[in-house]
């Protein structure tokens, strides 16, 4: 016969919330997996059904309900609700079914979730800061209940994926990215903080929408915007001095200046610029294993000249400089089309980073014409404009190259420059293809191709884990270059034989550990690591990875 105790031991009162309060703490809650002894000691008797579940049974229940949902957005809401009540079970389930659940937790479904954020909102996650918090950001950040924050993903919501200005509704992006840090690299979720810098929105639909949850004001610009971001960065350094800041989905007008302003002042990086660059460079390095030749022999046409495109080109230029090629000569290997067309020296509207990549040739806005003139070995789409890699463009690429490289990297799926099926069918099955969003396998003339995403999740979780594990003071381009080389080196010949130029997502935790170790190696060589050097960097990282298992409380 079970007897209920009237009170928990004093030590438990000091260490744990009790009763219903414990069941509402997502970090500590085990739900029906609390043992009978724990239920007695923690004042949970009567608050749970009688049967004690295993975590395996709980996971099976989640899967059953997940697979019953009518659409992907409903699956997203179900997983978010699970994360809100039981983080251990959430991370365990997503880790064990990463192929099935990553497209729900992140792209492409997260895009729809952000668009409908005000409609599906259940419970706040993270910190929201706006201009009315000026002068008080330190105290606002101190409201966050977890004090050992090591990774912050921050956005102002102006360029969410390929969807544009979603304002405060873009909070789904930091939440999703940080979930991937834990799932893919083993960063402790209690050390993660999503932040929304709500500086207003220029999205007309949101300015009048009754369910929009952000400031219904026009976007802050100029010096006032810069001052707000400055206060935020300084507040982070004071409240969470061990945290690395990941800038996410800022518009071009702010993304590059913010990275330039803070990269040498604090531990930070921009995933849209540096993460995208590294995963794309890794894809190119793998593709060259198939095509033969060298990186310096590649002629690359970019559709899109924003953070992603320029970031990729900058990192490849850095790689070529390492091989002894001048920056000016290296940049001659790239041709960009922005929203107006080919970036040429005779265009009077190009400035800054765009001007560095302007080519001395006749202007045209026709991608197919650029392909005819340039005769590229690779085309890379980072435009956010769907179906721009037309049949004409892909057939031209196949005429010019025995194995044309086609990277359709815009996301979500609705923004992709072409589908995997288009790429394989219109190149006679010869394309080396990667995408920004997931596509199903493609069967063509008796062969099954396995297209894999050029997903930043192959890069940023491992980089972040390396920065955290080794106490890295600054994040450098050399670390992203090392991450790209490491990722490319982990692609097996078996993967390549299937048409895949990235490892399977099921290996993502192992991949991230290797990337974290590579980041550590660079950090120690450059004097940027603050943790005493372990004997084996890879084993040190693996030993530090978060494991989603229940702890015993009694």
Q: Nearest CA to 198 among 227, 169, 173?
A: 169
Give whole-number Cα distances, 443 to 408, 429, 499, in Å.
19, 9, 11
Residue written as token pair 């290797």: 514
pLDDT of 276-295, one tens digit each? 999 999 999 999 999 999 99
The pLDDT value given to residue 3: 37
Is 177 annotated as catalytic?
Answer: yes
The DSSP secondary-structure symbol of 474 reads: -
To which residue do tokens 């921009």 refer? 270
pLDDT at 419: 96
Determine the average pLDDT of the residues in 146-168.
Answer: 95
- pLDDT tens column, 439-452: 999 999 999 999 99
Residues 152 and 127: their CA atoms lie apart, in Å, by 10
Question: Which residues partner with 447 through β-bridges?
Answer: 444
Question: What is the per-residue pLDDT across 430-442, written as a single tens digit (0 to 9) for each?
Answer: 999 999 988 999 9
Query: In sequence order, which residues have a C-beta less than 8 Å from that of residue 441 and are 6 or more positions away?
Result: 448, 449, 450, 451
**Do residues 127 and 205 make contact, with C-beta atoms less than 8 angstroms apart?**
no
Buried/exposed code over 209-231 (b: 16+ C-beta within 10 A; e: otherwise): beebbbbeeebbeeeebeebbeb
pLDDT tens digit sequence for 240-275: 999 999 999 999 899 999 999 999 999 999 999 999
pLDDT at 304: 96
Pick from 5-9, 382-386, 514-518 the range whose average pLDDT is largest.
514-518
**pLDDT of 391 over the 60 cut:** yes
493-514 residue pLDDT tens = 999 999 999 999 999 999 999 9
CB-based contacts of 20: which residues, under 8 Å, 6+ apart? 47
Q: Answer whether residue 7 shows pLDDT above 70.
A: no
Q: Does the pLDDT value for residue 141 go beyond 70?
A: yes
| Rounded distance between C-alpha atoms, residue 201 and residue 158, angstroms | 7
Catalytic choice (177, 212, 415, 550): 177
> For 519-531, what is the mean pLDDT?
98
Query: How many other C-beta atoms lie within 10 A of the C-beta of residue 200?
Result: 24
Contact of 168 with 213, CB cutoff 8 Å: yes
Residue with tokens 């997203």: 76
How far, in Å, CA of 268 to CA of 485, rounded? Answer: 21
**Annotated catalytic, 106?**
yes
Check residue 15 and give its pLDDT. 64
Give the C-alpha separation, 415 to 375, whole Å.
25
The answer, yes or no, to whether residue 80 has pLDDT greater than 70, is: yes
Per DSSP, which regions of 248-403 are E strands? 268-270, 300-303, 334-338, 341-342, 378-381
What are 292-310's pLDDT values in tens digits? Answer: 999 999 999 999 999 999 9
Q: For the residues of 183-215, what is the DSSP string, one character each? A: III---GGGEEEEEEE-----HHHHS-TT--S-
Active-site position among 76, 91, 106, 458: 106
Q: Is the pLDDT of residue 4 over 50?
A: no
pLDDT-based confidence at residue 411 (cuts at 50, 70, 90):
confident
Going along the chain from its start, the domains and CATH numbers come out as 1-53 (1.20.1370.30), 102-266 (3.40.50.10380), 271-554 (3.40.50.720)
Residue 200 Ramachandran class (φ > 0 left, ψ -120 to 50 alpha, else beta): left
Provide Rg for the chain, Cα atoms: 24
Give pLDDT tens digits for 394-407: 999 999 999 999 99
Of the candidates 513, 536, 512, which has an alpha carbon nearest to the alpha carbon of residue 524? 536
Stated pTM of the model: 0.93
* Upstream peptide bond of 108 is cis (omega within 30 degrees of 0): yes
Average model confidence (pLDDT) across the chain:
95
> In angstroms, rounded to a whole number, what is the distance separating the alpha carbons of residues 443 and 423?
12
Q: Which helix (H) or strand (E) holds 470?
A: none
User: CA 176 to CA 265: how far, in whole Å?
Assistant: 27
């Amino acid at each position: 016969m079970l007897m209920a105790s009237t009170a928990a031991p004093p030590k438990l009162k000091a260490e744990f919330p009790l009763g219903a309060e414990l069941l509402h703490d997502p970090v500590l809650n085990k739900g029906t997996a609390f043992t009978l002894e724990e239920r007695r000691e923690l004042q949970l008797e009567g608050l749970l059904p009688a049967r004690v579940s295993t975590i395996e049974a709980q996971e099976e229940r989640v899967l059953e309900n997940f697979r019953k949902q009518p659409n992907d957005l409903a699956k997203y809401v179900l997983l978010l609700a699970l994360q809100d009540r039981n983080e251990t079970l959430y991370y365990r389930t997503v880790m064990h079914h990463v192929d099935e659940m990553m497209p729900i937790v992140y792209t492409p479904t997260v895009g729809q979730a952000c668009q409908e954020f005000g409609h599906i909102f259940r419970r706040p996650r993270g910190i929201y800061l706006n201009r009315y918090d000026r002068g008080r950001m330190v105290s606002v950040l101190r409201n966050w209940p977890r004090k050992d924050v090591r990774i912050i993903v921050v956005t102002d919501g102006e360029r969410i994926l390929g969807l544009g200005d979603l304002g405060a509704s873009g909070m789904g992006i930091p939440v999703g990215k940080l979930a991937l840090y834990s799932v893919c690299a083993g960063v402790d979720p209690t050390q993660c903080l999503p932040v929304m810098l709500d500086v207003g929105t220029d999205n007309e639909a949101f300015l009048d929408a009754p369910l929009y949850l952000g400031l219904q004001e026009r976007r802050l610009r100029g010096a006032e915007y810069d001052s707000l971001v400055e206060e935020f960065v300084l507040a982070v350094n004071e409240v969470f001095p061990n945290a690395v800041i990941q800038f996410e989905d800022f518009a071009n007008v702010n993304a590059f200046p913010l990275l330039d302003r803070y990269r040498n002042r604090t531990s930070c990086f921009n995933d849209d610029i540096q993460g995208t660059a590294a995963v794309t460079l890794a894809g190119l390095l793998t593709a060259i294993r198939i095509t033969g030749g060298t990186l310096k022999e590649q002629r690359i046409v970019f559709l899109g000249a924003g953070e992603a495109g320029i970031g990729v080109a900058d990192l490849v230029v850095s790689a070529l400089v390492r091989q002894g090629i001048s920056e000016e000569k290296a940049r001659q290997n790239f041709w960009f089309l922005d929203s107006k067309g080919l970036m040429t020296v005779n265009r009077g509207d190009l400035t800054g980073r765009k001007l560095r990549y302007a080519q001395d040739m006749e202007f045209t806005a026709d991608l197919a014409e650029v392909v005819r003139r340039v005769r590229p070995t690779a085309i890379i789409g980072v435009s956010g404009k769907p179906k721009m890699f037309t049949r004409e463009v892909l057939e031209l690429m196949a005429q010019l190259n025995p194995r044309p490289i086609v990277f359709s990297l815009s996301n979500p799926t609705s923004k992709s420059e072409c589908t995997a099926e288009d790429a394989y069918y219109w190149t006679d099955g010869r394309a080396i293809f990667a995408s920004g969003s997931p596509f199903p396998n493609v069967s063509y003339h008796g062969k099954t191709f396995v297209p894999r995403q050029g997903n930043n999740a192959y890069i940023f979780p491992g980089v972040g884990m390396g920065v955290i594990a080794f106490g890295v003071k600054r994040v450098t381009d050399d670390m992203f270059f090392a991450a790209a080389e490491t990722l490319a080196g982990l692609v097996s010949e078996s993967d390549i034989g299937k048409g895949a130029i990235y490892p399977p997502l099921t290996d993502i935790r192992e991949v991230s550990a290797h990337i974290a170790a590579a980041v550590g190696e660079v950090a120690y060589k450059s004097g940027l690591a603050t943790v005493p050097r372990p004997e084996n960097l890879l084993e040190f990282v693996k030993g530090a990875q978060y494991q989603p298992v229940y702890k015993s409380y009694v």
